[in-house]
């Protein structure tokens, strides 16, 4: 209770516009409250409130009518504790007894929790974030709203269509960000949303039993995949190294063959072109899948070394540097001619090469005193 009072005091200070210094255990809650403070002035639109209210009530009726206990029951019991009551014992003492609820009561309780929580959220958060763009402070709230809508949509075909619409909106946002040369969260948020919603639509499609609806949604899903493949490929050349990797991974998630690096091996040897013998050359062997003819070794996102051989699953390149120097450049990667790129998520493996054994010096009789470093000349 003391922590609750302390948090209540900190929040009241925060709402007056003062800067507060919260203890470590309460800092995450205060930080979250400071981000959401501007939402107190938001007002829901009548259309949104009506639609969400109807969805909540339908879901509540489903939970109330469900005769079988579910995981929601256990969660409700975990989140909500019923008050303790005392029953008399033999004498003047009394013992605490936890009030129990029936499965039906637990389902009603859980439905009420859903309704109450969402009605509170309608009061500002969802509506304020309804038009939030990728990269914005409220975009995470918009994603929450989208997930809630999908969870409350009982019909599989409607749910698949909802995910398709969300994915299409995210793809449009990604295309707009690319056209405006935007970087950072605006680009990656849109891309992450598109992939998540497109895959969710595919999963929901598997539950659609109506033949006509299934065929229509499947065609829309494939059309969206082809459009996204074209848009993402077109965006690759203008992106820097980290975003190229992210876009490549998004292409792979929707079924496009892209490069994937599984392991990097470094093998060091003396550089034959160095007459003094101090130089080193490192052979870099990258294994994986999806490597194209003409693929290049990438260090820090830039082409490096000379490619010796390339196959679908192996790239071998040579870099005029010590193995440790190559490894210190950061993640080793592969760049395909089409702009797709991949990096290794594992540390490279160092493979030692046997160094040439120096020639033995013949032993000079009588002047080494047993301290010679060469090998005695064998007697014929």
Which is nearest to 208 in space by CA: 196, 223, 220? 220
Radius of gyration of the chain (CA): 32
Mean pLDDT of 138-151: 82
Q: CA–CA separation, 380 vs 365, rounded Å? A: 16
Q: What is the pTM of this model?
A: 0.61
Give the pLDDT score at 329. Answer: 85
- Whole-angstrom CA distances from 241 to 22, 101, 180, 245, 314 are 39, 57, 18, 6, 21
**Rounded mean pLDDT, 20-45:** 68
In percent, how much of the chain has pLDDT > 70?
A: 63
> In terms of DSSP bridges, do strands 349-352 and 260-270 run parallel, antiparallel, or are they unpaired?
parallel
Flag whether pLDDT at 190 surpasses 80: yes
Tell me phi and psi for residue 261, to 5 degrees: -95, 130
Task: Decide: 31 and 20 in contact? Cβ < 8 Å.
Answer: no
What is the rounded average pLDDT for all residues in the chain? 76
Residue 374 pLDDT: 44
Of the candidates 283, 290, 273, the residue with the CA atom closest to the CA atom of residue 339: 290
Task: List the domains of the chain with CATH numbers.
Answer: 2-41 (no CATH), 46-88+97-238 (no CATH), 260-352 (2.60.40)
Q: How confident is the model at residue 94 (pLDDT cuts 50, 70, 90)?
A: very low
Bridge-based pairing state of the strands 314-319 and 306-310: antiparallel
Band (pLDDT 50/70/90 cuts) for residue 47 is low
Tell me, what DSSP letter sits at residue 361? P
């Amino acid at each position: 209770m003391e922590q609750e009072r302390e948090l209540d005091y900190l929040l009241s200070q925060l709402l007056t516009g003062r800067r507060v210094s919260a203890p470590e255990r309460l800092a995450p809650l205060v930080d979250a409250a400071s981000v959401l403070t501007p939402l107190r002035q938001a007002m829901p639109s009548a259309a949104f409130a009506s639609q969400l209210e109807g969805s909540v009530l339908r879901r509540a009726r489903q939970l109330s009518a469900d005769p079988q206990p579910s995981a929601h029951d256990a969660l409700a019991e975990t989140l909500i504790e019923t008050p303790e009551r005392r029953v008399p014992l033999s004498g003047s003492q009394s013992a605490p007894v936890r009030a129990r609820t029936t499965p039906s009561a637990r389902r009603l309780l859980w439905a009420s929790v859903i309704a109450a929580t969402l009605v509170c959220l309608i009061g500002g958060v969802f509506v304020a974030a309804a038009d939030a763009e990728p990269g914005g402070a409220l975009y995470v709230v918009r994603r929450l709203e989208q997930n809630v809508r999908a969870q409350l949509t009982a019909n599989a075909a409607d749910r698949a269509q909802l995910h398709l619409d969300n994915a299409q909106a995210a793809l449009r946002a990604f295309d707009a960000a690319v056209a405006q040369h935007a970087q950072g969260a605006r680009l990656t948020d849109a891309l992450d949303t598109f992939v998540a919603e497109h895959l969710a639509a595919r999963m929901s499609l598997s539950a659609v039993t109506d033949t006509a609806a299934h065929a229509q949604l499947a065609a829309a899903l494939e059309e969206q995949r082809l459009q996204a493949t074209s848009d993402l490929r077109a965006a690759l050349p203008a992106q820097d190294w980290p975003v190229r990797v992210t876009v490549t991974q998004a292409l792979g998630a929707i079924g496009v063959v892209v490069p994937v690096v599984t392991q990097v091996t470094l093998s060091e040897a003396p550089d034959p072109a160095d007459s003094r013998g101090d130089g080193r050359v490192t052979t870099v062997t990258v294994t994986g899948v999806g490597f194209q003819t003409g693929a290049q070794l990438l260090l820090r996102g830039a082409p490096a070394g000379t490619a010796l051989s390339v196959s679908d699953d192996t790239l071998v390149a040579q870099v005029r540097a010590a193995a440790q120097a190559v490894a210190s450049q950061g993640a080793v990667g592969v760049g395909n001619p089409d702009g797709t790129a991949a990096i290794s998520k594992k540390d490279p493996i160092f493979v030692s090469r046997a160094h040439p054994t120096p020639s033995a010096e013949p032993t000079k009789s009588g002047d080494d005193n047993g301290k010679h470093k060469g090998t005695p000349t064998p007697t014929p």
